[in-house]
Amino acid sequence: MSVSETITTLVHEIHNLKEFEEIIQKEELFVLDFYSTQCPPCDVVAPLYKKLAEKYTNAKFYKINGLDPEGLIVQKSIDVVWWPTFVIYKNGKEVWRAKIPNPPQQYPTAELEAELKKVYV
């Protein structure tokens, strides 16, 4: 398996609300990336998000496509209204959230990493 394949497998897609709810119940620490396939800022932050997944291996990293009808249900269930939006969960509770403004002046990946360090086990 190549390095790029390994990194890709560190970020998992959530496909529906049931799967999301199961992840909340079982994962101690995880990060969500709500994205769209038609969102240029999402394309910019995707490789940075993958690098965080490679670095913080005790956390799980997930992504949810907000254009997918099932992904939209998950997005609405926790009041995500913009892409990309990053959310950190610890012990079943949301502990941090950031979204990127449109147009993006800066991408909050450094802020995401700083917050992740605070809760990282």
Question: pLDDT tens, 82-94?
Answer: 888 999 999 999 9
Catalytic residue among 10, 42, 74, 112: 42
pLDDT tier for residue 101 given thresholds of 50, 70 and 90: low
Is 42 catalytic? The answer is yes
Q: Quick one: pLDDT at residue 2?
A: 40
Q: Tell me how far CA of residue 76 lies from CA of 46, 49, 81, 114, in angstroms.
A: 21, 22, 7, 26
CATH architecture of 11-120: 3-Layer(aba) Sandwich (3.40)
pTM higher than 0.75? yes
pLDDT at 42 over 70: yes
Is 82 catalytic? The answer is no
Number of separate helices (H) and strands (E) present in the chain? 5, 5
pLDDT at 36 over 90: yes
Q: Quick one: pLDDT at residue 82?
A: 86
